[in-house]
Amino acid sequence: MSNILHNAFVHYFWTGFYLVDPDRPGELVIGPYQGSFGCLRIAFGKGVCGTAATTRATQIVDDVHAYAGHISCDARAQSEIVVPVITASGDLIAVLDIDSNQKAQFDQTDRAGLERIVQASFS
């Protein structure tokens, strides 16, 4: 899925999953992705991915450099959307993280489409 999404949209700079680590509750570990190197681990509540994991709500950030607590894995990233991946039984198993090298590249249409894709694939 990360490969298909990454190659379908010109403005997708980094596209991938951070998986909930079953051995370290409250921590995400890098999973399948496309793009430059990503952060290896992210704690729940830290950065955009950790916030999406904690709140279980999609996060859209128009300017990651203005986002308090942003974790910079690649300084070229400018905007970001993170969609939590929740199973039918209600368990958070991952977050889908997509970065753009341009500001304000994600909107409510992206949110709705990505949430549908994630829900159809993982529930």
Look at residue 116 and tell me if it is in a domain. no
Q: What is the pLDDT of residues 17-67, one digit of tens each?
A: 999 999 998 999 999 999 988 889 999 999 999 999 999 999 999 999 999
Look at residue 115 and tell me if it is in a domain. no
Overall domain count for the chain: 1
Q: Determine what percent of the chain is predicted with pLDDT higher than 70.
A: 99
Look at residue 118 and tell me if it is in a domain. no
Q: What is the DSSP string of 10-23?
A: TT--EEEEEEE-TT
Q: What is the pLDDT of residues 76-112, one digit of tens each?
A: 899 999 999 999 999 999 999 999 999 999 999 999 9
Look at residue 73 and tell me if it is in a domain. yes
Look at residue 119 and tell me if it is in a domain. no
CA distance linking residue 13 with residue 72, whole number of Å? 14
Q: Do the beta carbons of residue 111 and residue 83 sit within 8 Å?
A: yes
Q: Do the beta carbons of residue 18 and residue 97 sit within 8 Å?
A: yes
| Residue that is written with structure tokens 């942003």 in the block | 70
Look at residue 13 and tell me if it is in a domain. yes
pTM (global) more than 0.85 = yes
> CATH no. for residue 16?
3.30.450.40
Q: Which domain holds residue 28?
A: 2-110
Look at residue 121 and tell me if it is in a domain. no
Look at residue 54 and tell me if it is in a domain. yes
